[in-house]
Amino acid sequence: MDNAAIEEMFETLGPVKIRRMFGGKGIYVDGIILALEVNGEILLKGDAETAQAFEEAGARQWTYEGKGKRVKMPYWSTPEAAWDDPDDMARWVRLAYEAALRSKK
């Protein structure tokens, strides 16, 4: 996904900074990472408060294989319905931002 499309996706939060990382991109607001772009997919920050909402929306948690076992990361795929509804997308990016703020405490 190009940077302009990412900026548009997160525009309701204000300006974002996009930095290359791990073969993808880190997406930051106010210096706090709230999403990743990996292989063209946007992964939103989640936590214990938002995990159920992501699951119910059909999102999947990002995992990777580490030392013979699956490791869960605090990032979730963007729910499909959000791509067709700007208000819904704004809700999900706000939830990701709030999860990112909680993780900083």
pLDDT at position 64:
87
Provide the residue range defining the domain that includes 43: 3-100
Give 90: exposed, middle or buried? Use CB within 10 Å, 0-12, 13-18, 19+. middle
Model confidence at 104: pLDDT above 90: no
Instruction: Count how many domains the chain has.
Output: 1
pLDDT at position 46:
98
Dist CA 92 CA 46 (whole Å) = 10
Within a domain: 7: yes
Dist CA 32 CA 17 (whole Å) = 9
Model pTM?
0.93
What is the domain-level CATH number for residue 46? 3.30.1460.30
Within a domain: 68: yes
Within a domain: 8: yes
Within a domain: 105: no
Q: What is the pLDDT of residues 35-91, one digit of tens each?
A: 999 999 999 999 999 999 999 999 999 998 888 899 999 999 999 999 999 999 999
